[in-house]
Amino acid sequence: MAQDILRVGLIGCGNVVSYGHRPALTTLADVELVALADVTPERRLIGREWFGLSDENLYASYAPILARQDVDAVVVTVPQKFRRQIVLDALAAGKHVLSEKPLASTPAVANELCEAAERSELTFGIVHNYHFFPEYRLIKHLVDGGEIGDLRVLTLNYLGVIDYPGAAEYQADWRHTMDAGGGVLIDMIHAVYLAEWLAGEQAIQVNAFVDAPTYADQNPVIEDLALLQVAFPSRYALINMAWGQGVGGVDVSGSDGQIRMRYEDYQTSGFNQPIELYSVKNWQRTDHVIPNLPAHMDNIAHSFTALWADFRDAIRENRAPVAPARAGERALQLALAGYLSSATGKTITLPLPVDHPVYEHGINGILQADIWEESRTKSAGLFGLRD
């Protein structure tokens, strides 16, 4: 890092850049975007305007960015299907890497990327930006501080996830194809890594129902509803996820009380500001003040900015970032194990064996599993299971 400025190359200039990386990269004084690559010419021009780049810093391919000496780190914001080669090449070129979530489409690739980074001296972070939402930081602080005794059950309701299309200039519907590696659960994998983080343990079992009721008449191939029960060594999580307008918010039950967090109109985490966070102990309620965000930033923009600041500091201090890529590999396994559970009607033990078809091929491996004939995932025709 020259003069303590982190110089960044952006690979993929789609929607997540507009509301996430753009505010971060144009706000942090000591993080500077110096080059951008995108396969779609219109997206390169949009990025040129956003970041005030000159034409010689815009590329159709990522390779020239990796060859530049004045790039310290790259952020890989392409759809997950394309991440593997870009991340491997970036690490081989000596660049620190920040990957969007999900880390990959298969645990095998996610693990390959983590191992490549672990063999290097480089920092490999993932955009698990919900770690930086003030409401989740406060919940974590209360749980770890013993506010409700021993944590027993986490309920993460994400039943009102907005089904955002991809950038119109590229391929708006990619998130509804097998290429996405899954549907709403993969899209909103935030709840999955938050469950592990809040539980303070790694998941060991998952049991799930995965279906597509909203899009049933459109012959969907990926889900819009996923209901997961997750076992950790000493606690549990319920993760309820849907594209739609259902209930959002978080409930935490402990041996001595509970914590509840709500957004306005019970909306889902993401673009909403929390309006209520309280704990109840011995049937006495205590309201907790959620720290205010900077006036000019919403929850999403603030979370990306805080995540980027942590990624920068992790490189400077030669430490792991708050959101390391390895957590992305575990979150991906848990989500895919949920799909496998629903398709087979069985509880799935984690980690998946490395020779399991779903470990090797992600959702494309589900076809090779022992499918339960009554499975709602099968009757919905998801993941290639259409008769």
Ligand X SMILES: NC(=O)c1ccc[n+]([C@@H]2O[C@H](COP(=O)([O-])OP(=O)(O)OC[C@H]3O[C@@H](n4cnc5c(N)ncnc54)[C@H](O)[C@@H]3O)[C@@H](O)[C@H]2O)c1
Enumerate binding residues for ligand X (CB under 6 A). 11-16, 20, 37-40, 43, 62, 77-80, 82, 100-101, 127, 129, 166-167, 170, 174
Nearer to ligand X, 78 or 226 (CB): 78
For the stretch 171-177, contacts whose Cβ atoms lie closer than 8 Å and that sit 24 or more positions apart, written own/partner, are 174/79, 176/215, 176/220, 176/221, 176/222, 177/221, 177/222
- In whole angstroms, how close is the CB of 16 to ligand X at the nearest point? 4
Nearer to ligand X, 77 or 377 (CB): 77
Nearer to ligand X, 148 or 221 (CB): 221
Per DSSP, the residues of 210-228 read EE-STTGGG--SS-SEEEE
- In whole angstroms, how close is the CB of 187 to ligand X at the nearest point? 6
Nearer to ligand X, 87 or 369 (CB): 87
- Picking from 373, 339, 370, 341, the residue whose alpha carbon sits closest to that of residue 105 is 339
- In whole angstroms, how close is the CB of 82 to ligand X at the nearest point? 4
Nearer to ligand X, 166 or 246 (CB): 166
Q: What is the identity of the amino acid at 28?
A: L
- In whole angstroms, how close is the CB of 285 to ligand X at the nearest point? 32
- In whole angstroms, how close is the CB of 202 to ligand X at the nearest point? 22
- Picking from 112, 82, 110, 87, the residue whose alpha carbon sits closest to that of residue 98 is 87
Nearer to ligand X, 120 or 171 (CB): 171
- In whole angstroms, how close is the CB of 146 to ligand X at the nearest point? 31
Per DSSP, the residues of 52-113 read T--GGGEESSSHHHHH-TT--EEEE-S-GGGHHHHHHHHHHTT-EEEEPSSS-SSHHHHHHH
Q: How far is CA 165 from CA 28, 116, 271, in A?
A: 28, 32, 15
Residue closest to ligand X, measured at CB: 14
